């Protein structure tokens, strides 16, 4: 059984499998799971709902000060509440995904969420997934992983998810949106998407979820910090 305060980060681009792997890993190890993507999506939804998508500086900071974000559960049962309103389904819309990538470049948003994310880890052991968990938020994490996969494979995975959720975007549109988000995430000057220097990079293109999970557990189990 791992240390109850063990901290593990899993970063990577959309469609690489980090959310599914992180949830299952947290369940297997008995650790909490932090879905940072849901946090950024919640902020994006709130900004859009408040007509503040373009807000910056003091205006944006004041807006965020009054924002109450709470997340309960995980996976399909996850509930995301913003200022007393449950918006779990709405933050999964493709439009909100793109907006979340855009607002994540704003230093006010990143500062607002940084404290929330770190406070979560102070209370318990954690599997934290996102795009800068190992590089910015938790550079001290005992284990850092970066999942990647080809654009074609990631697009197909997201296309299937959207179909199951009732969306009718074409595969080509999904690929274009994902490519654009990759460029946004990798090209931003603040906390760009990239592996931490000490992260273990795993290409999931030709691997099943179970295979990726087994590899991560193998790495963690063989290290004294997990004892």
Q: Please tell me the pTM assigned to this model.
A: 0.84
The pLDDT value given to residue 187: 86
Residue 221 lies in a domain: no
Query: Which CATH number characterizes residue 47's domain?
Result: 3.40.50.300
Residue 222 lies in a domain: no
Looking at the structure of the chain, the number of domains it has is 1
> Collapsing DSSP states into helix, strand and coil, what is residue 170?
coil
- Work out the average pLDDT over 156-179: 90
Residue 193 lies in a domain: yes
Residue 50: pLDDT band (50, 70, 90) is very high
Identify each DSSP E strand in the chain by its residue range. Answer: 7-11, 32-35, 69-72, 79-82, 85-86, 126-130, 143-148, 200-203
Q: 95 Cβ partners below 8 Å, 6+ apart?
A: none
Closest-CA residue to 108 (of 60, 51, 160): 60
- Work out the average pLDDT over 10-27: 94
Residue 1 lies in a domain: no
Q: Which domain holds residue 19?
A: 7-216
Residue 99 lies in a domain: yes
Other beta carbons less than 10 A from residue 58's beta carbon: 9
Instruction: List pLDDT tens digits, range 51-61.
Output: 998 999 999 99
Residue 93 lies in a domain: yes
Residue 2 lies in a domain: no
């Amino acid at each position: 059984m791992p240390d109850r305060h063990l901290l593990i980060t899993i970063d990577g681009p959309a469609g690489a499998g980090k959310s599914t792997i992180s949830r299952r890993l947290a369940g297997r190890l008995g650790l909490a799971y932090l879905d940072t993507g849901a946090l950024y999506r919640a902020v994006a939804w709130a900004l859009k709902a408040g007509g503040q998508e373009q807000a910056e500086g003091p205006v944006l900071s004041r807006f965020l000060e009054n924002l109450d974000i709470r997340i309960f559960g995980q996976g399909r049962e996850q509930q995301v509440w913003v200022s007393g309103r449950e918006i779990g389904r709405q933050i999964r819309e493709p439009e909100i995904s793109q907006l979340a990538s855009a607002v994540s470049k704003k230093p006010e948003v990143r500062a607002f969420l940084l404290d929330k994310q770190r406070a979560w880890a102070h209370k318990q052991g954690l599997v934290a997934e996102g795009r800068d968990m190992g590089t910015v938020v938790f550079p001290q994490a005992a284990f850092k992983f970066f999942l990647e996969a080809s654009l074609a494979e990631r697009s197909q995975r997201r296309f299937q998810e959207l179909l199951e959720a009732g969306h009718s975007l074409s595969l080509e549109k999904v690929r274009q949106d994902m490519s654009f988000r990759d460029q946004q995430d990798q090209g931003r000057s603040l906390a760009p998407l990239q592996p931490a220097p000490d992260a273990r990079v795993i290409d999931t293109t030709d691997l099943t979820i179970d295979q990726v999970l087994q590899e991560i557990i193998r790495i963690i189990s063989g290290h004294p910090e997990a004892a």
